[in-house]
A and B are shown apart, each in its own frame.
Chain A
């Protein structure tokens, strides 16, 4: 409840400091020369001490990428990206690997402190709505600092449970068979332009493996930060959950302020076997650019989950407030009989931000079910598009989809578009679609203000109410931050 109060303070601070999280950390960096060619790919693979098959995999992806074109259909526009004008590898200068947090570069820890880790404590202190209803779990933080994971905590507890949670580069070396079996099995290297690029040059990311029957004993959380000037960020995440196992994974990011646009092209692959469940939550706060849209992050992400097993479940929850351009469609391929896909999303755009997001639910098997709840909030001169595909394949007997898209407009210079694509090749499948567009009314604002709330607080409260169905899906560690981000990102959008 007091998140709003807290938010107000945050907003006040922000009003002064502009983008509070736009700081740079001064750490010695090991940077590859600018440019992208086969040599770059070989260099990355060598630095990562990868097995030969991995190098071959990358090179194949790179050759595919050379043949591909950037997608043009998304409703976003940006100056052409010069892929040769970026560094593809940057990592803090190697000291012997840290064994505990004590050994981690203090500069880095300061950075994390500024980012407010650990968040779950904040959530409890702030008494987030629903905080007491949710089971409290410790959070394991695998902090991705630029392209290299430097600190992993709680590893022992996870090991005891048989859960593998490590940087993907480590998994490539140490769990080679698993990686080889599953990498690219959900998002093939040639899937799309950005996925191919990622496959060729990804430098880090997380790997999770939960064995049969294991409920992961803690929320897994990764904090991404882009911190080196001109370094494209190519994260690769692979999560495999075996039969009757489950995991909840949290991803969050903030990025420092800078004046060149930065490319972020991540790939996330999720695999759920029989009766397995994966909950993947994102609070995304890349630097959105200044009021004019200069300097923000370009976020082109491919996220896809495969419900391979019967009755398996994959749930995506995301709160997107950042980036100058977002292009992102977390999807579910429902291949297991009776499997379930969910997508809960809040996308906020302000100033000159552009977002083209949505989801794809591909129903392959009988009795599969999917739910899509997408909330879009547009303010300033921003433009937001929800693009959703629901496809019912011939074998998807009695499959069900429910889609609800709600747009909230703040001011009259912004735009919101809803583009549903529905393809049904099965007579017994049922698809429901609901869409609404609304504005924050003067009545609502005045009602709140007459009760003593400032205009900013009132907007925050109303917006958080609008997003409630999605926010309640977030693990509580993220609920506080999400509520804050919503308000911060709409700062100055009224009055």
Chain B
């Protein structure tokens, strides 16, 4: 029924110092248009790997399965083509770009994506207006725009900067990889608002988290439990609450 994001039997591995290491071992996942799904799972289960594979990181080798996004073969596209198509990844560990001015980076990215989508580029004035509105919403100081991308940012500032990029790039599908970790209570609310206010028929998201608390703010349509490279259970928002109380054991045993 949904042909928005459809992942079937996805398998991927990485070359770990010469020996191939299987990480994704057959992921099945569908995210319909307008829905927000959450993935929870133990450390090392492959959540970040899934987000990298979906956004096109080259060091992961896809060995099986398929992924389609808006009817296109996602796995055949370059990372920047996926971005143009509406995909966005908020990194678990945002990367530092020494010397690259944050505002310059944002504007270059926004205009690259706009160009690829056939939209007019934003001139300096229009861009500044857009970015100021967003920094205000996210309670970020304008000083962050003048600094080098993520260099010397605190953990929380990096995460906010990811959300800022997400909002400016206007994706139709965003993956948020542990965007809540390292955030204080107020920041968590602000970031959640940054996501919730995008909610609507044209915005879907996959929220990766270890904490049920985030899902109190961003209430997901579905929650998936991932372990050892597979989705082992899917359910409603209540799954997160069960996990918070009981841990992964019962899910792991049920799947075994």
Contacts and interface: CB of A to CB of B under 8 A. Distances in A.
B4 interface: no
B170 to A, nearest CB: 11
Nearest to B84: A452
B51 to A, nearest CB: 10
Contacts of B89: 450
Interface string B114-146: 011000010010000000000000000000000
Contacts of B88: 450
Interface string A457-495: 100011011111100000000000000000000000000
Interface stretch (B66-74, B103-111, B179-187, B242-250): B103-111
Interface in A440-466: 441-444, 446-455, 457, 461-462, 464-466
Contact of B80 (A4, A5, A441, A453): A453
A2 interface: yes
A461 B105 contact: yes
A409 B75 CA distance: 30
Contacts of A452: 80, 83-84, 109, 112-113, 116, 169
Interface size class of A (residues with CB under 8 A): 20 to 34
B165 interface: yes
B142 to A, nearest CB: 15
A465 B80 contact: no
B99 A466 contact: yes
Contacts of A469: 99
Contacts of B104: 1, 4, 129, 461
Contacts of A464: 99-100
B83 A451 contact: yes
Contacts of B95: 441, 443-444, 446-447
B108 A461 contact: yes
B221 interface: no
Main secondary structure of the interface of A (DSSP, over half): helix
A127 interface: yes
B56 interface: yes
Contacts of A455: 80
Contacts of A451: 83, 105, 109, 112-113, 165, 169
B221 to A, nearest CB: 25
B58 interface: yes
Contacts of A443: 95
A5 B121 contact: yes
Contact of A465 (B98, B107, B112): B98
B253 interface: no
B80 A461 contact: no
Contacts of A449: 56, 78-80, 83
Contact of A442 (B55, B58, B105): B58
A203 B57 CA distance: 56
A434 B100 CA distance: 21
Contact of A2 (B58, B99, B108): B108
Nearest to A468: B99
A444 B93 CA distance: 12
Given A454-B80, A461-B104, 15 more contacts: A1-B101, A1-B124, A5-B108, A444-B95, A447-B94, A450-B55, A450-B89, A451-B165, A452-B116, A452-B169, A462-B97, A464-B99, A465-B97, A468-B99, A468-B101
B79 A446 contact: yes
Interface string B50-64: 001001111100000
A125 to B, nearest CB: 11
A444 B97 contact: yes
B91 interface: yes
Given A444-B95, A450-B89, A1 B103 contact: yes
23 contacts: A1-B103, A2-B121, A5-B108, A5-B121, A129-B101, A442-B59, A446-B56, A446-B57, A446-B79, A446-B95, A448-B97, A448-B109, A449-B78, A449-B80, A450-B56, A450-B57, A450-B82, A450-B88, A451-B109, A452-B116, A452-B169, A454-B80, A461-B105
Nearest to B83: A452
Contacts of A450: 55-57, 79-80, 82-83, 88-89
A193 to B, nearest CB: 38
Given A442-B58, A443-B95, A453 B103 contact: no
B148 interface: yes
Nearest to A461: B100
